Amino acid sequence: MTRKIDIFDTTLRDGEQSPGASMNTEEKLVIAQELIRMGVDVIEAGFPISSPGDFRSVQEIGRLAGDSCVVCGLTRAVDKDIDRAVEALKTAKRPRIHTGLGVSPSHLREKLRITEDECVERAAHCVRYAKKYVNDVEFYAEDAGRSDQSFLIRVIQAAVDAGATVVNIPDTTGYSLPEDFGVRIRSLQENVRGIENVTIAVHTHNDLGMATALALEGVKNGATQIECTINGLGERAGNTALEEVVMALKMHGDELDGHTDIVTGELTRASHLVSRITGMNVQANKAIVGSNAFAHSSGIHQDGVLKARDTYEIIDPADVGAGSSQIILSARSGHAALRHRLGELGYAFADKEFDDIYERFLEVADQKKEVYDEDLESIVQERQRDIKAIYTLNALQVTCGDPLIPTATATVTDERGRASVSCATGTGPVDAAYKAVDKVVEKHGDLTEFSVKAVTRGIDAIGEVTVRISGQDGHIYTGRGADNDIVVSSAKAYVNAINRMISTARSRMEA
């Protein structure tokens, strides 16, 4: 059995420090409920002394959590900070105080302005002071990633001797290389007396894009708690992303000798929730929870995934609550992807018919970034209208504007395959197009109704036009047409209505 790796979520504390991501208490409670549902081991609920809002958040989350997880409040290595955290944590059944100070040369010299000996003394004092009030005390050695290793050992030894139950080794600035960070963790295990009875935590940042790698290297070298946030929220470039380390441990648990108890099916829901509440959008190509994480656009990839999902996916999307793989239809998609999607929509075509549809699909795909189901429905319906056509609109060119005279040139093919080109002017581009068509067809109708709607999404949506024309027999005939160009849609709809009118007239004569 692999080691249990605790997941310490700091979305509500460190994550909230991401510029623009502040949350009120009610919003934090909603996220805390999701974290509990997900099964995190520790929720860092806030920094009680920083504001009345944070104090209340820690109180309310402590009350909400009950026995389900540890609720943690952050403090500096200052007695009044710890006193305030103790007060806020009175509602928690499993309280933890997270206290500490900087240990790197720059923190000691520039920020704290204390000596190494003073730092060691303050580390021991803050742990002992917090320990008077709660049994569970976590000590953080801020900026440990840039500290002198021999001094870091001294500080951590003092914290352990003072009674810390968890020692947190942060790479606060995301500076370390993973291998070097792993060596730091291993060195603490080998040189700090009594550390085998203490949880080693890692808290890494993403300034060089290596937060997840740093955290996993820490686990590989003895850490059994990872501090992380949903979507990797956090100051500057953010923290370790919870969803990434959880799934990495799930995929490589044996190699890392670790597992978590996180309900991974909640990861996507949690990601969307945090994004919606904070207003911080998740980039499309974000690992695990990005909108493109399980989307395939390349024809080669689509063909492989359709044959066997794991050819291009190492994670089943359902395992993270993401539903199923997405086949994104675009100009790069191949025959297999289009045939699969059409099949899902209930259409099956012989090879020759399918090839014609695929050609039309490519025409639409060249005009759009993505082809949606509604586009496919429109393409199929257009083809079905064309198959029965007496006249077919092959090309249309329109010029219009102010002060230009709207002019249309239409190329129309009849049922015998003869193409005719005609040109006309009108009061507008649609009127000009209709008059150009009238010069070719054997009959024309009077337009009685015209409507247009977007049948797909986006600014490049396909527009469908519906027209009704009145024939000389007094009957009304309906026509529809669809295209990215609304004037072309209008002309197709008119030709479709003309075809219906002529077909009806012929049927009556044959009867």
List Cα–Cα distances, 493 to 50, 365, 392, 464, 482, in angstroms: 66, 21, 11, 8, 8
Start-to-end CA distance of the chain, whole Å, equals 83
pLDDT of residue 30: 93
The Cα–Cα gap between 506 and 52 comes to 83
Q: CATH homologous superfamily for 388-510? A: Alpha-isopropylmalate synthase LeuA, regulatory domain (3.30.160.270)
User: Regarding beta strands 419-425 and 407-414, do their DSSP bridges make them parallel or antiparallel, or are they unpaired?
Assistant: antiparallel
Q: Over 212-243, what HEC string results? A: HHHHHHHHHCCCCEEEEEHHHCCCCCCECEHH
For the residues 246-251, what does the mean pLDDT come to? 96
pLDDT of residue 333: 79
pLDDT of residue 361: 78
For the residues 18-37, what does the mean pLDDT come to? 90
Can you list the alpha helix ranges (DSSP code H) found in 242-334? 242-251, 253-256, 267-278, 299-307
What is the tens place of the pLDDT at every residue in 221-234? 999 999 999 999 99
The Cα–Cα gap between 57 and 92 comes to 12
pLDDT level of residue 282 (50, 70, 90 thresholds): confident
Of the given ranges (124-138, 300-314, 424-438), which has the lowest mean pLDDT? 300-314
For the residues 14-23, what does the mean pLDDT come to? 85
Are 286 and 231 spatial neighbours (Cβ–Cβ below 8 Å)? yes
What is the helix (H) or strand (E) element at residue 467, kind and residue range? strand 463-470
Residue 163 has pLDDT above 80, yes or no: yes
Q: 373 versus 452: which is more confidently predicted?
A: 452
pLDDT of residue 303: 55
pLDDT level of residue 430 (50, 70, 90 thresholds): very high
Of the given ranges (53-67, 190-204, 428-442, 468-482), which has the lowest mean pLDDT? 468-482
> Which amino acid is located at 156 in the chain?
I
Residue 16 has pLDDT above 80, yes or no: yes
Are 228 and 241 spatial neighbours (Cβ–Cβ below 8 Å)? yes
| CB neighbour burial string for 178-196, b if at least 16 within 10 angstroms, e if fewer | beebbebbbbbeeebeebe
pLDDT of residue 96: 98
Are 5 and 228 spatial neighbours (Cβ–Cβ below 8 Å)? no
What is the helix (H) or strand (E) element at residue 98, kind and residue range? strand 95-102
pLDDT level of residue 457 (50, 70, 90 thresholds): low
What is the helix (H) or strand (E) element at residue 409, kind and residue range? strand 407-414
Among residues 299, 309, 361, the alpha carbon closest in space to that of 336 is found at: 299
| CB neighbour burial string for 60-85, b if at least 16 within 10 angstroms, e if fewer | bbbebbeebbbbbbbbbbbeebbbbb
Name the DSSP letter for residue 12.
Answer: T
Residue 486 has pLDDT above 60, yes or no: yes
Which percentage of the chain shows pLDDT scores above 70?
A: 87
pLDDT level of residue 363 (50, 70, 90 thresholds): confident
Q: 290 versus 75: which is more confidently predicted?
A: 75
What dihedral do alpha carbons 29, 34, 36, 38 form, nearest 10°?
-160
Q: How many residues does the chain have?
A: 511
Q: 211 versus 387: which is more confidently predicted?
A: 211
For the residues 1-22, what does the mean pLDDT come to? 91
pLDDT of residue 118: 96
Give the start-to-end residue ranges of the domains of the chain.
3-278, 295-371, 388-510
Residue 294 has pLDDT above 80, yes or no: no
What is the tens place of the pLDDT at every residue in 381-402? 666 555 567 888 999 999 998 8
Of the given ranges (330-334, 349-353, 370-374), which has the lowest mean pLDDT? 370-374
List Cα–Cα distances, 477 to 388, 422, 442, 483, in angstroms: 15, 24, 16, 21
Residue 193 CA to chain centroid, in angstroms?
A: 44
Q: Which residues pair with 476 in a beta bridge?
A: 470
What is the tens place of the pLDDT at every residue in 139-160? 999 999 999 999 999 999 999 9
pLDDT of residue 38: 96
Give burial (CB, 10 Å; 0-12/13-18/19+) of 324: exposed
> Which amino acid is located at 472 in the chain?
Q
pLDDT of residue 261: 97
Name the DSSP letter for residue 283.
Answer: P
The Cα–Cα gap between 201 and 194 comes to 15
User: Regarding beta strands 295-296 and 258-259, do their DSSP bridges make them parallel or antiparallel, or are they unpaired?
Assistant: unpaired
Residue 340 has pLDDT above 80, yes or no: no
Neighbours of 19 (CB within 10 A): 8
What is the average pLDDT score of the chain? 88
Name the DSSP letter for residue 348.
Answer: -
pLDDT of residue 12: 96
Q: 425 versus 464: which is more confidently predicted?
A: 425
Residue 364 has pLDDT above 80, yes or no: no
Among residues 457, 451, 444, 440, the alpha carbon closest in space to that of 490 is found at: 451
CA pseudo-torsion sign 258, 261, 265, 268: negative
SS3 content of the chain, % helix, strand, coil (to 5): 45, 20, 30
List Cα–Cα distances, 287 to 11, 226, 282, 314, in angstroms: 18, 18, 10, 12
| 3-state SS, residue 313 | coil
State which fold the 3-278 domain adopts: TIM Barrel (3.20.20)
Which percentage of the chain shows pLDDT scores above 90?
A: 59
Torsion-angle region of 209 (φ positive above 0: left; ψ -120 to 50: alpha; else: beta): left
